[in-house]
Amino acid sequence: MTEETNLHPDELLPFYVNDTLDPDQRTEIEAHLHCCRRCQDETAFLRTLQTGVRQSISDSGPGDMAWPRLQRAIRRENNKHRQSPRWMATALAASLLVILAQSALLFHSYPEPRGYTLSGNTPAGQVVQLRFAPGATEADIRRVLQAVDARLVDGPGALGIYRVRLGDGDARSLEQRLDWLRQQASVISHAARE
């Protein structure tokens, strides 16, 4: 029986039945089925089993409240990302010079590194996700990345997403840098923290 079994494509029959074999495999199986009663019977069983599995699906679902619950959770996530960390509020309140410098940065259209960084303002090596606008040139991309002290680390993915690592040569917070990137609409079509 073992020797006979080795001659039959038992392991492939379920995938013949669910029609996921590649064309060459399918052709081989069909040629075998043409003259093998044993495998014909096995295929018939698998087709009936397939029907049974499909019919056994429960009528129950996740319920009508599942989406509203998820929607609330998503909005909580978004709100959490927008809030400033408490330690940042403490650092700003402790130094008038830092507060004035932060205010100046908010109104500056082309930011340049200030030569100092607030300790812990942006976690070292923080990675964000960017997608570049279709018409962006290499020079545009270079300018924008240099402006926020960023380096490409990965990408593009299938959705055109690039992963970019932010350095500590820019005094602004992560959210401030992301906001600035989003304002560069001719170059950046998507900017989000990872």
Partner 1 sequence: MEDPHNRWLAQIADGDEQAMQQFYRAWAGPVYQFALRRLDEPADAADLLHEVMLEVWRRAGRYEGRSRVKTWLFGITHHKILDRLRQLGRARQREDSVMDVDMQPATCSDTLSAVAAAANATWVQRCLDRLAAIHRQVLHLAFYEELSCNEIAEVLACPAGTVKSRLMHARNNIKRCLQRLGIQ
> Contact positions toward partner 1, by CB under 8 A?
1, 5, 10-11, 14-15, 17-21, 37-38, 41-42, 44-46, 48-58, 60-63, 66-67, 69-71, 73-74, 77-78, 129, 157-161, 190, 192, 194
Residue 109 CB, nearest approach to partner 1 (Å):
24
Question: Is the CB of 18 or the CB of 186 nearer to partner 1?
Answer: 18
CA angle 78, 79, 80 (to 5 degrees): 90
Question: Is the CB of 3 or the CB of 138 nearer to partner 1?
Answer: 3
DSSP secondary structure string, 25-39?
A: HHHHHHHHHTT-HHH
Question: Is the CB of 59 or the CB of 115 nearer to partner 1?
Answer: 59
CB 166 within 8 A of CB 127: yes
Residue 84 CB, nearest approach to partner 1 (Å):
19
Residue 31 CB, nearest approach to partner 1 (Å):
20
Give me the residue label for tokens 């609330």: 72
Residue 122 CB, nearest approach to partner 1 (Å):
19
Question: Is the CB of 21 or the CB of 118 nearer to partner 1?
Answer: 21
CB 193 within 8 A of CB 183: no
Strands 188-193 and 127-132 turn out to be antiparallel
Residue type (1 letter), 172: R
User: Residue 9 gets which letter from DSSP?
Assistant: -
